[in-house]
């Protein structure tokens, strides 16, 4: 039940501000992952380790026929790689190929799924988290109205617990503490969960 609630809380954050950025690489003459499912608003980066590989969006019929004719209005990634912004990835299924190696099976699919909108969480007590984006550490400032037990956790976009920044601790008055991010592997978008008594607040955090 808690995981389901966390997923619902993460939805509005994924829809605004920093979208997720997902990377596609090439392994030999294949894209990896060959089929990628992302949320609307996410960006994609192609990290291709050869100047012989590109990525061009094509129609489904062209994709099925191992063709290379670009789809009008579709995305094109230069040889060696590049980024595709969310504006070029509307809802639906996007088919793409490497124009040099499509006959070898070097083609992929990006599925963009909709995310239902729900109200953002709110709290009677303001929580400040800085710097944001962060690299080495973050500081959490919190001023609960009453003495309470506070717990702070870090989750990734999939709702998986990454780290417990602060185990359950009794807090009274102004709470101001810094936490190291050295143990966090991988940059990206995360969510800091602050549980104080019966109140739960989520803050979006971008780690560089």
Q: Which residues fall within 8 angstroms of residue 35, CB to CB, at 6 or more apart?
A: 108, 109, 111
Residue 25's H or E segment, with its range, is: strand 21-27
Q: pLDDT digit string (tens) for 113-125?
A: 876 543 344 444 5
Distance CA 3, CA 123 (A): 20
Q: What is the DSSP secondary structure assignment for residue 59, as one 8-state letter? A: -
Q: Structural domains in the chain?
A: 20-113 (2.60.40.420), 123-207 (2.60.40.1930)
SS3 69: coil
Higher-confidence residue of 95 and 182: namely 95
SS3 8: helix
pLDDT at 7 over 60: no
Is pLDDT of 11 > 50?
A: no
Percent of the chain with pLDDT over 90: 37
Quote the pTM value.
0.51
Residues 64-70, mean pLDDT to the nearest whole number: 96
**Nearest CA among 62, 64, 20 for reference residue 38:** 20
């Amino acid at each position: 039940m808690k995981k389901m609630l966390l997923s619902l809380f993460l939805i509005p954050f994924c829809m605004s501000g920093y979208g997720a950025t997902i990377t596609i690489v090439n392994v030999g003459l294949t894209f990896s992952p060959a089929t990628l499912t992302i949320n609307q608003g996410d960006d994609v980066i192609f990290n291709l380790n050869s100047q012989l590989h590109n990525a061009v969006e094509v129609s489904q019929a062209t994709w099925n026929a191992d063709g290379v004719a670009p789809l009008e209005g579709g995305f094109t990634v230069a040889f060696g790689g590049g980024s595709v912004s969310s504006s070029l990835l509307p809802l639906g299924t996007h088919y793409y190929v490497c124009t040099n190696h499509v006959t070898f099976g070097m083609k992929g699919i990006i599925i963009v799924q909709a995310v239902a909108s729900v109200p953002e969480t709110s709290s009677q007590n303001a929580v400040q988290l800085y710097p944001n984006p962060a690299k080495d550490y973050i500081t959490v400032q919190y001023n609960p109205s009453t003495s309470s037990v506070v717990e702070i956790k870090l989750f990734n976009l999939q709702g998986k617990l990454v780290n417990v920044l602060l185990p359950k601790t009794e807090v009274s008055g102004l709470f101001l503490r810094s936490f190291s991010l050295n143990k966090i592997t991988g940059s990206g978008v995360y969510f800091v969960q602050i549980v104080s008594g019966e109140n739960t607040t989520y803050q979006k955090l971008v780690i560089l």
